[in-house]
A and B are shown apart, each in its own frame.
Chain A
Amino acid sequence: MRVSADAMKVPRGADGHAPDVFRKGGWVPMREHDLDQEVDFLIVGTGAGGATLACRLAEQGFSVVALDAGAWWRPLEEFASDEAHQQQLYWNDERICDGDNPLKMGSNNSGKAVGGSTVHFAMVSLRFRPEWFKCRSMLGYGADWPVDWREMWHYYDEVEQALSIAGPVNYPWGPPRKRYPYRSHELNAAALVLARNVVVAGYAIETPRLLLISANQRFPDGLANSSGLVGKNLMVQSNQAVWGVLDEEVRSYKGPPSLSISEHWNYQDKDKDFFGGYAYMSQGPLPAGWASALNGRGLWGVNLSREMQKYNHQAGLKIVGETLPQERNRVTLADEKDQYGLPITRITYSFCDNDKKLIAHSLNFMEQALEAAGGKEIWREQDDTCHLNGTARMGDDPKTSVVNADGRSWDIPNLWICDGSVFPTVGGVNPSLTIQALACRTAHRIGVLASRGEL
């Protein structure tokens, strides 16, 4: 019955139950709270950060209400594996992009659904290199995180178990770690609720937007913004690629898109003329995505259809590369308004010299690797980026950070932030696992603080 109602218009989590995403037509019980009932936590956004935190807080006995701007999908009945159809999973409300390297938003970096990015991401779940949590003191760049790597690795264990991550028995990089729960894959996600605590978990664009839009007499520059850093230090990850044609039929889109990954240049510091690292991985673009990459080379008409005939023979390597935090890369409010009359965001982004050196290094390296694999007609895709982090960084000092290690804002004790926007640096791996691990840590810390009467 409710299965057929339009999930984009009708909230499905209602009447004491929510859709069971693992069972066609199924429901799971969901606790509800009256509009005039005070709850312990109101969480805005249910992605990798918000949903994880909601789960762990509820398990500890806190009352939690979670809000999301997007639909609560039933993947088994409502998802077709189709590029155009998947557009409904992304944040498609307008944002304006400028700077030297205007970002392309959407599929690579922003979801709109119950579950957020975890509904559409490529499932690449990599840990941060331990030194990255102290990259200012140990590696000489960026900013130190206010958390210890050993603590984070404990939460990585927790998340990898909960998600049943598949991976090699012996991970080739970094300190020893537990076995992944699954063996390696064969190669080839209502307004008026009173809450004691509000957790903002809307990701690196919508989180600062919400804080900035919420400016009032008491907080004229936006909530939690005494440091002036809300919206600043936006970090993407560079996402350049090298592509070539193989004699063999490859059909690179078969199976998960990034089946083989190397973290060599995350853990190797020699022979680099830049700070930071990158992971590189195999790729599997679908037809429109591949045509878009070729459009980026200026190809259209007959030149494009000729190239598209080689689609099943294409192979490519792509990086997830670290970019440095820069205050000039930022999210601000534009004059233009959205459908609710609220200011939309302006996203300003420019690579710095270090970012450019990292990209050049990776392209040279991947070109050699692709040649060695028999790649012909090799070319470089130069302008892509992925993921969003920063804009509400965590730290030890209220003057230089927006939240503390627990995600609690320095200015407003009952305002917490739990998503990728708290990252002081971004590392060279996909961010979702670290967002989830941080959410588990924040949940644990809230429990500890509550038991001490310090909430």
Chain B
Amino acid sequence: MSDQATRTRYPGYDVLAKRDTPSWDPITRKVVDERLATPLQPRFFDQVQWAAAATLCKCVVDQPADRASVPVAAMLDARLFENQGDGWRDARLPPLREAWRTGLAALDAESRTAHGVVLAQLTLDQQIALVTAMQRGELHDAAWQNMPCDLFFSERVLHDLYGAYYSHPAAWSEIGFGGPANPRGYVRLYKNQRDPWEAVEAAPDSTAQERDQVSEENARVR
């Protein structure tokens, strides 16, 4: 992610800089601290599933190259380990854990059929092509066990991966989101107004010098 349209408009802004300020209260610290302490090693996936899951996360969730990656696959594994469902599922899908086991095995099977190797060993372009085929509902290997691949993609892959990613402070910083609003609260509600604990935006076409200025301002956001 390096072109003008995808680089962050909020250089120098870090939601976590507010952790020890009046912007956050004890429960906010506890909730976010626990999220940041998600174990990086899998407890639900076996090694084969883990390799496929990690590859799928990297392929689907685009992340900035200039900061540590949000551990999306580990967050997914934690959710599956705890079997934390949504309270519903489409009748065409099996339960949460079964859907993921089946889906990852099917992606490896599709990969082997097409390229002779598993998903993790494909080039990024090949991975993207396979994921796109999944999105279009074009994958029908017996390993899917009649689970519609496009529904697995929209209801599990996108829902679970992006749900995890955008619960992480690094992702909030990237899009200029203030983070938990309580206890600070918003005072300035009108357009183009920001509270002192909110990020300053650099226009997409701003110069390097302008971005440096914005970066300095964002370093003061608490």
Are chains A and B native binding partners rather than an unrelated pairing? yes
Contact between chains at A78 and B27 (CB < 8 Å):
yes
Q: How far is the CA of A103 from the CA of B162 in the complex (A)?
A: 20
Interface status of A184 (Cβ within 8 A of chain B)? no
Contacts of A103 in B (CB 8 A): 88
Contacts of A102 in B (CB 8 A): 90-91
Residue of B nearest to A102 (CB): B90
Residue of B nearest to A315 (CB): B191
Interface status of B154 (Cβ within 8 A of chain A)? yes
Q: How far is the CA of A396 from the CA of B186 in the complex (A)?
A: 49
Contact between chains at A80 and B158 (CB < 8 Å):
no
Contact between chains at A98 and B166 (CB < 8 Å):
no
Contacts of B63 in A (CB 8 A): 305
Contact between chains at A305 and B88 (CB < 8 Å):
no
Chain B 55-93 per-residue mask, 1 if CB under 8 angstroms from chain A, else 0: 000011111000000000000000000001111111110
* Known A103-B88, A251-B198, A287-B175; contact A188-B190, beta-carbon cutoff 8 A: yes
Q: How far is the CA of A92 from the CA of B82 in the complex (A)?
A: 13
Interface status of A156 (Cβ within 8 A of chain B)? no
Contacts of B192 in A (CB 8 A): 248-249
Interface size on A, residues (CB 8 A): 57
Interface status of B201 (Cβ within 8 A of chain A)? yes
Interface status of A79 (Cβ within 8 A of chain B)? yes
Residue of A nearest to B9 (CB): A309
Task: Report whether over half of chain B's contact residues are helix, strand or loop; otherwise say mixed.
Answer: loop
Q: How far is the CA of A95 from the CA of B95 in the complex (A)?
A: 10
Interface residues of B in 1-45 (CB under 8 A from A): 1, 5-9, 25-28, 30-32, 35
Chain A 25-51 per-residue mask, 1 if CB under 8 angstroms from chain B, else 0: 000000000000000000000000000
Contact between chains at A250 and B191 (CB < 8 Å):
yes
* Known A80-B28, A92-B87; contact A309-B162, beta-carbon cutoff 8 A: no
Contacts of B31 in A (CB 8 A): 80, 82, 85
Interface status of A193 (Cβ within 8 A of chain B)? no
CB distance from A90 to the nearest CB of B (A): 6
Q: How far is the CA of A97 from the CA of B89 in the complex (A)?
A: 6
* Known A79-B27, A97-B90, A105-B86; contact A309-B177, beta-carbon cutoff 8 A: no
Contact between chains at B167 and A302 (CB < 8 Å):
no
Contact between chains at B62 and A292 (CB < 8 Å):
no
Contact between chains at A188 and B189 (CB < 8 Å):
yes
Report the 8 A-B pairs with minimum CB-CB distance, sorted nearest first. A188-B189, A105-B88, A98-B91, A84-B167, A288-B166, A81-B182, A248-B191, A287-B166
Q: List 24 A-B contacts (CB under 8 A).
A: A77-B26, A84-B35, A87-B84, A91-B87, A95-B87, A95-B88, A248-B191, A248-B192, A250-B191, A251-B194, A255-B189, A287-B171, A287-B177, A288-B163, A288-B167, A292-B159, A295-B154, A295-B159, A296-B154, A301-B62, A305-B63, A306-B5, A308-B175, A312-B176
Q: Known A-B contacts: A80-B25, A287-B172. Give 4 more (CB < 8 A).
A: A92-B86, A288-B163, A295-B154, A305-B62
Interface residues of chain B, those whose CB is within 8 Å of chain A, are: 1, 5-9, 25-28, 30-32, 35, 59-63, 84-92, 95, 128, 131, 135, 154, 158-159, 162-163, 165-167, 171-172, 174-178, 180-182, 186, 189-194, 198, 201, 204
Interface residues of chain A, those whose CB is within 8 Å of chain B, are: 77-85, 87, 90-98, 102-106, 110, 186-188, 246, 248-251, 253-255, 286-288, 290-292, 295-296, 298, 300-302, 304-306, 308-309, 311-312, 346-347
